[in-house]
């Protein structure tokens, strides 16, 4: 059995344990611009632990090689937050509040291009990666401050600062609601799941919540659903693109040390529509079919099957909440239509496994702590079917993406 830290689904940022990883890209800013190519490419980033700390590297390829060797990659810097859109990789530097765009040439050389600075915009809260709408339109969400920063990815210039209603309870230290990942939908909405990390366990929000930004009206609304307690700050994604609001470890922990009675389920799943509403006809409480004490997270949905990580009904909360996360957890696939439960062992030989990106509709995963010590890049092919695409030499994969 693995611990609660086994599966952290956080797109390209999983290894940051859901914190806002801040990086310096200064090591690359002095590199000569190699120019932007037009050949299709895939990119991969590897994290390497060195005596001086973590260092991140980025490589570009026409297809993933059998081995990803960081020694042949471009050094990005310590603690990089890396993602991509369209033709370019991007690196966020939280310390300097800058976003740097990189070029990838036709011979797969990587070089820093333009940078955008958020200094002077008045944002002070923590926030996640930008939501890209097009090659000329993207947004940063600082909802704690009630601000959205619109910028042009082509020119890397801020085009507007939009004042919106701040996220409720985000500045309440006992509740600490927050948003992180954002999802651009076909209905011209950007949806951000809302999460909380209460320090007062009796104040965990007894509702699910999403922030919905209407691109046309430039307004944010906060939508609640009382069928489940507050969940994660990322969605579980179906392989068909469906978004699912999912359980949160922070809420499960809070319930174990709370005196609140009659709270809605914390182990449920809701479906989120592209227009920013919760589907009124979909709700699944995973706790009963799993015979679980609590459901900590749903990693993904493939077909009708959801991969759930849970504490079984023999679990007794430890006296110290800090010890709660060290409890061994189990994994199982739950059919969302029939509620049939299947054991899941696909990742046992890979240790801690986490999502690193989506390419052409397929989800990819990296790993650490494998029994054989190897770092792998895995491609998902089914609900419990995964293919090892590459072996990463010297460090773990933390992001993959496709350009052009």
Tell me if 53 sits within 8 A of 402, measured CB to CB.
no
DSSP 8-state secondary structure symbol assigned to residue 252: H
For residue 106, count CB atoms less than 10 angstroms from its CB and return exposed for 0-12, middle for 13-18, buried for 19 or more: middle
Note the pLDDT of residue 212. 98
Q: Tens digits of per-residue pLDDT, 166-200?
A: 999 999 999 999 999 999 999 999 999 999 999 99
DSSP per residue, 142-184: ETTTTEEEEEETTTTEEEEEEE-PPPTTTT-TTT-EEE---EE
Residue 17 in this model has a pLDDT that exceeds 60: no
Q: Tens digits of per-residue pLDDT, 347-375?
A: 999 999 999 999 999 999 999 999 999 99
Residue 15 in this model has a pLDDT that exceeds 90: no
Q: Beta-carbon neighbour count of residue 186 at 10 Å?
A: 8
Query: Does residue 26 or residue 395 have the better pLDDT?
Result: 395
Q: Tens digits of per-residue pLDDT, 106-162?
A: 999 999 999 999 988 888 766 788 999 999 999 999 999 999 999 999 999 999 999
CA-based angle 224:17:241, to the nearest 5? 50
Mean pLDDT for the stretch of residues 34-46: 90
Residue 378's pLDDT band, with cuts at 50, 70 and 90, is: very high
Q: Beta strands 396-403 and 74-77: pairing type?
A: unpaired
Tell me if 295 sits within 8 A of 310, measured CB to CB.
yes
Residue 2's pLDDT band, with cuts at 50, 70 and 90, is: very low
Residue 23's pLDDT band, with cuts at 50, 70 and 90, is: very low
Query: CA-CA distance, 187 to 393, in Å (whole number)?
Result: 42
Residue 8 in this model has a pLDDT that exceeds 80: no
Which parts of 241-310 fold into alpha helices (H)? 249-256, 287-290
Residue 79's pLDDT band, with cuts at 50, 70 and 90, is: low
Tell me if 58 sits within 8 A of 82, measured CB to CB.
yes
Q: Beta-carbon neighbour count of residue 299 at 10 Å?
A: 24
Report which of 139, 140, 22, 136 is spatially closest to residue 78, judged by C-alpha positions.
22
What is the rounded radius of gyration, in angstroms, for the C-alpha atoms of the chain? 21
How would you list the strands of the sheet with 137-142, edge to edge? 131-134, 137-142, 147-152, 157-163
Residue 42's beta-bridge partner residues? 61, 402
Tell me if 359 sits within 8 A of 367, measured CB to CB.
no
Report which of 366, 342, 251, 330 is spatially closest to residue 3, judged by C-alpha positions.
330
DSSP per residue, 129-150: PPEEEETTEEEEEETTTTEEEE
Q: Tens digits of per-residue pLDDT, 218-256?
A: 999 999 999 999 999 999 999 999 999 999 999 999 999
User: 345: helix, coil or strand?
Assistant: coil
Mean pLDDT for the stretch of residues 367-393: 97
Residue 18 in this model has a pLDDT that exceeds 60: no
Residue 13's pLDDT band, with cuts at 50, 70 and 90, is: very low
Residue 5 in this model has a pLDDT that exceeds 60: no
Note the pLDDT of residue 396. 97
Note the pLDDT of residue 4. 43
Q: Beta-carbon neighbour count of residue 345 at 10 Å?
A: 9
Residue 353's beta-bridge partner residues? 7, 367
Q: Tens digits of per-residue pLDDT, 114-129?
A: 999 998 888 876 678 8
Mean pLDDT for the stretch of residues 272-278: 98
Mean pLDDT, the chain, whole residue set: 90
Q: Which two tokens stand for residue 356?
A: 């690193």
Q: Which two tokens stand for residue 39?
A: 């050949």
Q: Beta strands 137-142 and 292-302: pairing type?
A: unpaired
Q: What is the residue whose two structure tokens read 């919106």?
A: 164
Q: Tens digits of per-residue pLDDT, 295-337?
A: 999 999 999 999 999 999 999 999 999 999 999 999 999 999 9
- Which residues contact residue 219 at a Cβ distance below 8 angstroms, ignoring those fewer than 6 apart? 164, 213
Query: Does residue 270 or residue 126 have the better pLDDT?
Result: 270
Mean pLDDT for the stretch of residues 388-394: 97
Residue 357 φ then ψ, to 5°: 155, 170
- Which residues contact residue 312 at a Cβ distance below 8 angstroms, ignoring those fewer than 6 apart? 290, 291, 292, 293, 330
Element (H, E) at 391: strand 386-393
Residue 254 φ then ψ, to 5°: -60, -40
Tell me if 211 sits within 8 A of 131, measured CB to CB.
no
Query: Does residue 13 or residue 60 have the better pLDDT?
Result: 60
Residue 404's pLDDT band, with cuts at 50, 70 and 90, is: confident
Note the pLDDT of residue 202. 97
How many CA atoms does the CB half-sphere of 296 hold within 13 Å? 24
């Amino acid at each position: 059995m693995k611990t609660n830290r086994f599966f952290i689904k956080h797109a390209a940022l999983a290894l940051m344990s859901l914190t806002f990883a801040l990086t310096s890209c200064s090591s690359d800013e002095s590199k000569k611009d190699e120019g932007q190519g037009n050949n299709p490419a895939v990119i991969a980033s590897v994290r390497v632990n060195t005596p001086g700390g973590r260092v991140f590297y980025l490589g570009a390829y026409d297809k993933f090689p059998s081995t990803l060797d960081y020694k042949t990659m471009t050094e990005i810097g310590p603690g990089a937050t890396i993602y991509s859109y369209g033709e370019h990789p991007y690196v966020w530097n939280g310390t300097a509040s800058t976003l740097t765009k990189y070029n990838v040439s036709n011979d797969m050389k990587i070089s820093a291009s333009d940078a955008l600075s958020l200094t002077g915009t008045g944002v002070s809260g923590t926030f996640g990666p930008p939501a890209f709408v097009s090659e000329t339109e993207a947004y940063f969400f600082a909802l704690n401050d009630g601000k959205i920063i619109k910028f042009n990815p082509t020119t890397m210039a801020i085009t507007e600062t939009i004042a919106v209603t701040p996220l409720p309870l985000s500045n309440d230290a006992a509740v600490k609601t927050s948003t992180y990942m954002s999802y651009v939908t076909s209905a011209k909405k950007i949806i951000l799941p809302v999460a909380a990390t209460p320090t007062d366990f009796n104040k965990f929000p007894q509702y699910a919540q999403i922030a919905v930004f209407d691109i046309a009206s430039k307004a944010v609304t906060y939508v609640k659903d009382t069928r489940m307690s507050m969940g994660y700050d990322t969605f579980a994604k179906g392989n068909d693109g469906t978004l699912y609001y999912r359980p949160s470890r922070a809420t499960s922990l809070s319930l174990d040390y709370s005196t609140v009675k009659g709270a809605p389920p914390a182990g449920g799943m809701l479906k989120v529509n592209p227009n920013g509403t919760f589907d009124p006809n979909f709700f699944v409480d995973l706790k009963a079919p799993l015979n679980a004490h609590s459901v900590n997270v749903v990693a993904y949905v493939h077909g009708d099957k959801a991969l759930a990580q849970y504490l079984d009904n023999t679990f007794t909360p430890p006296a110290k909440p800090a010890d709660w996360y060290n409890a061994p957890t189990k994994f199982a696939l739950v059919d969302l239509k029939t509620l049939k439960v299947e054991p899941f062992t696909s990742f046992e030989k890979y240790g801690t496994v986490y999502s690193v990106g989506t390419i052409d509709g397929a989800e990819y995963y990296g790993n650490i702590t494998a029994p054989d010590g190897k770092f792998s890049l895995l491609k998902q092919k089914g609900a419990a079917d995964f293919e090892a695409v590459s072996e990463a030499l010297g460090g773990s994969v933390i992001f993959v993406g496709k350009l052009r």
